[in-house]
Chain A
């Protein structure tokens, strides 16, 4: 199966879901393409990838959400879990994973970027035409 994942948000809950789905899919032999746009484009910047700590959720869930964040941080420290971008790097090592980052948010913000400013898991900086091409390529598409 060819799976396209569209990610538009930049919170830790979405990024962990992205890493988990990607790893799970490639471990089963599926191909994955990730298309990041809007604030998700920014998380792939080298200077920001490790700074993502906000886990979105309703405030009434605060205690439970803090439990997840603390558990995640401890597991990463103890080598029992991995940062979201390391999960994608691991998935790339196992199988076929491509990461495309949409440059529209940077253009709107007036920021000049090039591939060198991004994590080495990013394959290309692209625009909407690539997303349409990927929609034609994939068998299934999910959005986060």
Chain B
């Protein structure tokens, strides 16, 4: 698993949350900002990864989710909104989308 682990319990919980998925890339890019690269995964995994990780984040943390199938581009924002989180941006960048979410 390509995970940048930090020495705090939040990141260890995140690592544990994604341990099933050996190839998924999850990185902490700065304080309270994370990138989850779910490109290459079919439904329902981008949604599952996102919701698994977001559950472990602190309130107001930002997670950028990268997806490369159009269905996830709709499903992921809909699922996080349904759970009360805030979708800040959905941007297409070449052949993938970047969905930026703030945990509420």
The 8 A CB mask of B1-30 against A (1 = contact, 0 = none) is 000000000000000000011110000000
Question: Which residues of chain A are within 8 angstroms of B52 by Cβ–Cβ distance?
Answer: 27, 94
Cross-chain contact of A24 among B22, B47, B83 (Cβ < 8 A): B47
Question: Which chain A residues (68-111) contact chain B, with CB distance < 8 Å?
Answer: 75, 78-82, 86, 90, 93-94
A interface: dominant SS: helix
In chain A, positions 42-65 with a C-beta closer than 8 Å to chain B are none
A23 within 8 A of B: yes
- B77-104 residues with Cβ-Cβ distance < 8 A to A are 79, 82-83
Q: Report B23-75 residues with CB < 8 Å from chain A CB.
A: 23, 40-45, 47-48, 51-52
**Known: A28-B82, A80-B40. Is A90-B48 also a contact (CB below 8 A)?**
yes
List of A residues within 8 angstroms of B22 by Cβ: 79
Residue of B nearest to A72 (CB): B42
A94 to B50, CA, bound (A): 12
Please list the 3 inter-chain residue pairs (A to B) with the smallest Cβ-Cβ separation, ordered nearest first.
Answer: A24-B44, A27-B51, A79-B23
Enumerate 28 A-B pairs (CB-CB under 8 Å) in ascending A order.
Answer: A20-B44, A23-B44, A23-B48, A24-B43, A24-B47, A27-B44, A27-B47, A27-B48, A27-B52, A27-B79, A28-B79, A28-B83, A75-B42, A78-B23, A79-B23, A80-B23, A80-B40, A80-B41, A80-B42, A81-B41, A81-B42, A81-B45, A82-B20, A86-B20, A90-B20, A90-B48, A93-B20, A94-B52
B residues contacting A by CB (< 8 A) are 20-23, 40-45, 47-48, 51-52, 79, 82-83
